[in-house]
Amino acid sequence: MSELQHEIGRRRTFAIISHPDAGKTTLTEKFLLYGGAIQTAGSVKGKATAKHAVSDWMELEKQRGISITSSVMQFEYDGYCINILDTPGHQDFSEDTYRTLMAADSVVMVIDAAKGIEAQTRKLFKVCARRHIPIFTFINKLDREARDPFELLDELEKEFGIGTYPVNWPIGCGVEFKGVFDRDKREILSFSDMHKGMNKIKPTPCDITDIEKMDELIGPYQRAELVDQIELLDGASFEFDLEKVRRGELSPVFFGSALMNFGIEVFLENFLKMTTSPLPRMSGETEVSPFDEEFSAFAFKIQANMNKNHRDRITFFRICSGKFERGADYYHVQAGKTVRLSQPQQMMAEERQIINEAYAGDIIGVFDPGIYSIGDTVCSAKKKVQFEGIPTFAPEHFSMIEQKDSLKRKQFVKGVEQIAQEGAIQIFHEPNTGMERVIVGVVGVLQFEVLEYRLKNEYNVDVIRNDLPYSYIRWIKNKGIDVKKLNLTSDTKWVQDFKGNNILIFTSEWNINWALEKNEGLILEDFSKD
Ligand code: G4P
């Protein structure tokens, strides 16, 4: 096996998703601890503590205690090189999360055992299911009162329409939590005061029909309950099928407590065995193998001014094939130009590090003077591939933004254009007007606040914001159409994007139907459909 094959083969790249507060950050932190990437718990994020977050970059995030931007972390464990793509948990930032999912090969979904599926998890899950991304479920917080595990699995199956396979099973919860039973190995991993917070706990092999031994371990009441539950599971639940897991049809489920560092190692070990090395990606009709010697990558995320100490803009690329080498010439397909990816970096827990090489499956952040857009392909000159773009999500909220001080026009234009290029907002204008004021469209309203905050802090521009009542957007597909002649309701607005495409924004679906009925031949496209 060549070095290239060995390196790519040992990579695992996954996104971690959850509803806010389910324990995603705590779990990520424990993964990093196992990998030795960080030394102390609490260094990934300390919402209540003063410690800095690895994944929270902006002041605003710190103030609000939410993770707005996604970041990437790499660590080594048991011979594997693991890339975690953190996703923002706040529902307003779903678009950024969707893009992050495009760069992952599998997903770890963290669920709060007391709450089950929550709105945000539901939304994200649908995206994974559509893309057939393998999903691993970690049901967290068993050290607290939890819902019935059967009920939780039932909810997962019904809501998401996939099968579940509990790899282990909880024995009680809260103060009665005794540990988990491994269904395959038939052993108990014990959660006792003695074991709390310990990394390496030795599981106890046990025959659950051995009453004496079981009673000693977990007591007669819980023994009887466990025997019943395991019998029920073995008889009625889905069979384990690795192919189904890899097609995203069956989710392996694990129970544990991220806070108590319980069940993490079991999870990691199984997860690494069940997931695949980086998966191929499509360039038109051609499948690009990650093991291909020639380098190729696509941009899935752009982030400006991530850190006050490094005022810069970073574009994140997912490497799809081959090996990246610092200083080599690559080809930026969309621009048709040769580029050098400068200051290539990876996030290692709290630090950004300049890297000299990276392999398919890895994520690299490169310094971007403003040349890349989301979805762009970069590859070695010989390769000439172009990866499928990343879908744009239709904005659902619109606001008119103008600068307070007209002397700051230049900074205002630069700011909104750059932020739009990052994909955080979409910008439009009224036909025949310039950039004095723009209409901003976003998927989640919190992005308006982020925009205002960033314009002020990064571009020194104060803006006046007027929210508009529209919530639907449609692109007019008819070429050369005279939009002024269309028969539209008075509360339908005609705008253009900066490529000059004609767009209508509507206050209701009723108005969209009106436009279609009253204007024969009018073709409207909804970009949110994928
Ligand atoms: P998130 O990234 O998904 O938003 O969740 P995060 O890890 O920040 O966890 C949310 C809260 O839940 C935190 O408490 C965290 O300590 C707690 N938590 C996480 N995993 C477990 C677990 O397995 N058991 C229990 N009992 N609690 C857990 P917090 O008080 O909101 O924040 P902090 O002050 O501890 O940071």
Quick: pLDDT tens for 274-293: 999 999 998 988 999 999 99
Higher-scoring residue by pLDDT: 498, 2: 2
SS3 category, 272: helix
Q: Per the structure block, which two tokens stand in for 277?
A: 């090395």
Q: Which of 151-165, 215-229, 299-313 has the lowest mean pLDDT?
A: 299-313
Query: What is the C-alpha to C-alpha distance for residues 167 and 165, in angstroms, rounded to an integer?
Result: 6
How confident is residue 18, by pLDDT bands cut at 50, 70 and 90? confident
Identify which of 254-263, 311-320, 377-386, 390-399 has the greatest average pLDDT. Answer: 254-263
**Residue with CA nearest ligand 1 atom 9:** 23
Higher-scoring residue by pLDDT: 413, 59: 413
Judge if the beta carbon of residue 90 lies within 6 A of ligand 1: no
pTM over 0.75: yes
Q: How far is ligand 1, taken at its centre, from the CA of residue 229, in Å?
A: 28
Q: What is the pLDDT of residue 121?
A: 72
280 φ/ψ angles, rounded to the nearest 5 degrees: -65, 160
State the SS3 of 203-225: CEECCCCCHHHHHHHHCHHHHHH
Q: How many CB atoms lie within 10 A of CB 14?
A: 20
Residues in the chain, overall count? 530
Task: Identify whether the C-beta of residue 228 lies closer than 8 Å to the C-beta of residue 111.
Answer: no
pLDDT exceeds cutoff 70 at 333: yes
Query: What is the C-alpha to C-alpha distance for residues 499 and 502, in angstroms, rounded to an integer?
Result: 9
Task: Identify whether the C-beta of residue 64 lies closer than 8 Å to the C-beta of residue 375.
Answer: no
Interval 62-100: pLDDT, tens: 554 444 444 788 888 999 999 998 876 555 555 677 788
Q: What is the pLDDT of residue 528?
A: 45
Identify which of 36-45, 183-192, 380-389 has the greatest average pLDDT. Answer: 183-192
What class does CATH assign to 281-379?
A: mainly beta
Give start-end residues of each CATH 3.30.70.3280 domain in the chain.
397-526
Mean pLDDT of the region 478-506: 91
Give start-end residues of each CATH 3.40.50.300 domain in the chain.
6-274
Q: What is the pLDDT of residue 242?
A: 96
Q: How far is ligand 1, taken at its centre, from the CA of residue 486, in Å?
A: 54
Q: Nearest Cα to 96, choosing from 136, 63, 58, 53?
A: 58
Q: How far is ligand 1, taken at its centre, from the CA of residue 200, in Å?
A: 22
Judge if the beta carbon of residue 84 lies within 6 A of ligand 1: no
How confident is residue 352, by pLDDT bands cut at 50, 70 and 90? low
Q: How far is ligand 1, taken at its centre, from the CA of residue 46, in Å?
A: 10
Q: What is the pLDDT of residue 38?
A: 59
Sequence-distant (6+) residues with CB within 8 A of 524 are 474, 475, 476, 477, 504, 512, 515, 516
Mean pLDDT of the region 146-172: 93
Judge if the beta carbon of residue 143 lies within 6 A of ligand 1: yes
Judge if the beta carbon of residue 144 lies within 6 A of ligand 1: yes
Higher-scoring residue by pLDDT: 166, 191: 166
H/E run at residue 510: helix 509-518
**Residue with CA nearest ligand 1 atom 10:** 21
Judge if the beta carbon of residue 18 lies within 6 A of ligand 1: yes
pLDDT exceeds cutoff 80 at 52: no
295 φ/ψ angles, rounded to the nearest 5 degrees: -75, 140
Our mutation pick for probing the ligand 1 site, out of 259, 260, 262, counting the most ligand atoms within 8 A of Cβ, is 259
Judge if the beta carbon of residue 25 lies within 6 A of ligand 1: yes
Residue 396's Cβ-count burial label (10 Å; 0-12, 13-18, 19+) is middle
Judge if the beta carbon of residue 47 lies within 6 A of ligand 1: yes
Judge if the beta carbon of residue 21 lies within 6 A of ligand 1: yes
The share of the chain scoring above pLDDT 90, in percent, equals: 46
Give start-end residues of each CATH 2.40.30.10 domain in the chain.
281-379
66 φ/ψ angles, rounded to the nearest 5 degrees: -125, 160
pLDDT exceeds cutoff 70 at 6: yes
Our mutation pick for probing the ligand 1 site, out of 16, 17, 21, counting the most ligand atoms within 8 A of Cβ, is 21
pLDDT exceeds cutoff 50 at 57: no
Q: How far is ligand 1, taken at its centre, from the CA of residue 450, in Å?
A: 25
How confident is residue 195, by pLDDT bands cut at 50, 70 and 90? low
Interval 211-250: pLDDT, tens: 888 888 888 999 999 999 999 998 887 889 999 999 999 9
Judge if the beta carbon of residue 350 lies within 6 A of ligand 1: no
State the SS3 of 96-163: HHHHHHHCCCEEEEEEECCCCCCHHHHHHHHHHHHCCCCEEEEEECCCCCCCCHHHHHHHHHHHHCCE
State the SS3 of 404-436: CCHHHHHHHHHHHHHHHHCCCCEEEECCCCCCC
Mean pLDDT of the region 297-306: 80
pLDDT exceeds cutoff 90 at 251: yes
Q: Per the structure block, which two tokens stand in for 112?
A: 């709060």
Sequence-distant (6+) residues with CB within 8 A of 215 are 223
pLDDT exceeds cutoff 70 at 61: no
**Residue with CA nearest ligand 1 atom 17:** 23
Q: How many CB atoms lie within 10 A of CB 184?
A: 10
Q: Nearest Cα to 11, choosing from 79, 82, 117?
A: 82
Mean pLDDT of the region 168-182: 93
The share of the chain scoring above pLDDT 70, in percent, equals: 85
Residue identified by tokens 């971007």 is 368
Contacts 24+ apart (CB under 8 A), 430-437: 430/494, 430/495, 430/496, 431/483, 431/494, 431/495, 431/496, 435/409, 436/402, 436/403, 436/406, 436/409, 437/400, 437/401, 437/402
Q: How far is ligand 1, taken at its centre, from the CA of residue 143, in Å?
A: 12
Interval 437-483: pLDDT, tens: 899 998 878 889 889 988 988 889 999 999 999 999 999 999 889 99
Q: What is the pLDDT of residue 68?
A: 42
Judge if the beta carbon of residue 259 lies within 6 A of ligand 1: yes
Fold of 397-526: Alpha-Beta Plaits (3.30.70)
Query: What is the C-alpha to C-alpha distance for residues 49 and 43, in angstroms, rounded to an integer?
Result: 10
Running DSSP on this structure, what letter comes out for residue 287? E
Judge if the beta carbon of residue 258 lies within 6 A of ligand 1: yes
Pick the CATH number of 6-274 from 3.40.50.300, 3.40.462.40, 3.30.70.420, 3.40.50.1000: 3.40.50.300
Q: What is the pLDDT of residue 206?
A: 82
pLDDT exceeds cutoff 80 at 494: yes
Q: What is the pLDDT of residue 86?
A: 82
- Pick the atom of ligand 1 nearest to 256's CA: 23
